[in-house]
Amino acid sequence: MLYSELFASALKKLDRNEMATAVEVLIESSFAINRSQFWMGRNQTIRDANGLRRFRRAFARLLAGEPLAYILGKKEFYGETFAVSPAVLIPRPETELLVEKALELLGQRPARILDIGSGSGCIAITLARLTRSHVVALEKSRPALRVLKRNIERFGVQSRVRPLAGDLYPGRAAAFRMIVANPPYLSRQDWLEAPREIRLHEPKTALVSGRAGTEILARIIAGAPRFLEPGSHLLLEIGQGQRRALCGFLKAAGLRELECVRDYAGIERVVVAQME
Ligand SMILES: C[S@@+](CC[C@H](N)C(=O)[O-])C[C@H]1O[C@@H](n2cnc3c(N)ncnc32)[C@H](O)[C@@H]1O
């Protein structure tokens, strides 16, 4: 069988041409070849039996609706590749907006940062790498913490990113110049309406907050004054239509909203607030 025949027969089974890139990536990773090797050699006969077995196993998972990132065990975020497993949320492009805003506010000055609900560590590690800041990466889920630690080692940032098990905030008093969080913010109803691929494969505890969706955001905001000095920043990723509720929580906690960044779909996505 030629590589091009394998590609075409896989696409036929998927019956969705938009999955062409996913199939191509699976072929490349299964046979350990790069993009140009695939395209240059697509009319060559496949001789790598192990590669073919790997492809068939991976393709069966894709056919069953598993996200490509979990099959490959990795996902790009802010130009770098992070290890992922079904224990963590797959990093999203919207979250890069939060990182961008944080970098803008931090400038060149290293700071002490708290990342709440660190998951794969994509936010914490990116900020630590690009600003030489010290980040406490707090996570409640033990399986997620294992992926987080793997990424900390992979990027060699053990001295600047400290993984910490906990429920939203560290047990001990500490002061941070910035708190960032992409917490669970879906309501139970949002979850029921979420795409099947998400519901079946991504961790519900990473996505669902409660009945309203804003419960965890409210707890983060209420707890923030104990950990932020005046003038310090709180950056939160939020769900569609949650900004108004958030403004109320911020005011009650003595924080001032500075800005709300819209995502690529025009949805209010990242709230930037400052401790009065
Ligand atoms: C939406 S995911 C974000 C993961 C990662 N920061 C990202 O942006 O891709 C939310 C994360 O918060 C964690 N989490 C949920 N409740 C938490 C809590 N009470 N305390 C700490 N972490 C929590 C989840 O396990 C999950 O890893």
Q: How is residue 48 written in tokens? A: 């790598």
Going from the Cα of 6 to the center of ligand 1, the distance in angstroms, rounded, reads 39
Residue nearest to atom 12 of ligand 1 (CA): 117
Q: Ligand 1 pocket test: pick from 89, 98, 122, 135 the residue with the most ligand atoms within 8 Å of its Cβ.
A: 89
Q: Residue 187: enclosing H or E segment and its boundaries?
A: strand 186-187
Looking at residue 14, its pLDDT comes to: 82
Nearest in space to 124 (alpha carbons), one of 108, 133, 109, 135? 135
Longest pairwise C-alpha distance within the chain: 67
Q: Ligand 1 pocket test: pick from 139, 185, 202, 214 the residue with the most ligand atoms within 8 Å of its Cβ.
A: 139
Contact between 256 and 274 under an 8 Å Cβ cutoff? The reply is: yes
Query: CA-to-CA distance for 190 and 125, rounded, in angstroms?
Result: 29
Strands 74-77 and 80-83: antiparallel
Looking at residue 109, its pLDDT comes to: 83
Q: Residue 207: enclosing H or E segment and its boundaries?
A: helix 204-207
- Locate the domains of the chain by residue range: 3-64, 75-275
Looking at residue 16, its pLDDT comes to: 67
CA angle 30, 71, 55 (to 5 degrees): 30
Q: DSSP string covering 133-166, please?
A: -EEEEEES-HHHHHHHHHHHHHTT-TTTEEEEE-
First vs last C-alpha separation in the chain? 67
The mean pLDDT values, 10 residues at a time, for the chain of 276 residues are 90 78 94 93 92 96 94 97 98 98 92 98 97 97 98 98 97 94 98 95 98 98 96 97 96 96 97 95
CATH number of this structure's domain 75-275, picked from the four choices 3.30.70.600, 3.40.190.10, 2.60.40.650, 3.40.50.150: 3.40.50.150
**Ligand 1 nearest atom to the CA of residue 141, by list position:** 25
Burial class (CB in 10 A: 0-12, 13-18, 19+), 150: middle
